[in-house]
Amino acid sequence: MLKLSAVSAFYGGIQALKAVSIEAEEGSITTLVGANGAGKSTTLCAISGLVKISSGQIIYHDKAINGLHPQKILKLGIAQVPERRGVFQEMSVYDNLLCGAYLRSDTKAIASDIERVYNYFPILKDKRKQMGKDLSGGQQQMLAIGRALMSNPKFLLLDEPSLGLAPLVIEELFKTIQEFADSGYGVLLIEQNVNMAMQIARKAYVMELGNIVLQGDPKELCNNDHVRKAYLGI
């Protein structure tokens, strides 16, 4: 389990997180929704060690990981896919994937994991020699997720994976994210498409101005008047 307990953090001199508590399990999708600037991305960066927390604890498998170097957190099995993908534009698809395994030395397992990524995203195998810049937005998102998978994680932190993608691509992408959870990965999902996120998540949290204001079963939250008006456009 990944657990945030009363985590506070500052970003650019502003308190971005205010005693945030979240629990996310492996083999399950947990979604964190909220408006832009609510603190969602800061939450993921705090987990990854990219943002230092000022108080509270981040626990993974019963051990505190706050204060660890991001590389150490990645080695422990937590991989983040950043907003806007961060694909290496001047590198091939294949080399992008290899970059995801830069902390590993198990050559045979790396080769096997590349094939596993290709099974999730067959188009990447077809385009394995193409440069990152030559891929469509959807293909770049697949590549960014595939690169994270190459670190051999147990937990995926996904930041706005559907951003800028066509509806049909989003639908296929969300099916694959569900497959990750079904395969045992933990997924903490930040997503602008709140309706889609609520459909696949087992647990949901609503964040506003650095605070968790609502949490619980996604289906129940979708019937909450505030959620319906603020995030579902109902």
Give the model confidence (pLDDT) of 76-111 as tens digits: 999 999 887 789 989 999 999 999 999 998 999 999
SS3 at position 227: helix
The CATH fold of domain 1-77+155-160+187-234: Rossmann fold (3.40.50)
The neighbour count for residue 199, using CB atoms within 10 Å, is 15
pLDDT at 134 over 90: yes
Q: What is the pLDDT of residue 231?
A: 86
Query: What token pair was written down for 20?
Result: 């945030």
Identify the band that residue 165 occupies on the pLDDT scale cut at 50, 70 and 90.
Answer: confident
Q: What is the mean pLDDT of residues 25-29?
A: 97
When the pLDDT of each residue in the chain is averaged and rounded to a whole number, the result is 94
Helix runs in the chain, H state only: 40-48, 70-76, 93-99, 107-120, 122-126, 137-149, 167-182, 194-200, 218-221, 225-230
The C-alpha angle with vertex 81 and arms to 66 and 136, in degrees rounded to 5, equals: 170
Going from N- to C-terminal start, the domains of the chain cover 1-77+155-160+187-234
- Helices within 100-187 (DSSP H only): 107-120, 122-126, 137-149, 167-182
pLDDT grade for 24, boundaries at 50, 70 and 90: very high
pTM for this model (two decimals)? 0.93
Sheet with strand 155-159: strands edge to edge: 78-81, 155-159, 186-190, 29-33, 203-208, 211-216
∠ CA 15-75-114, nearest 5°, is: 115
**Residue 23 pLDDT:** 97
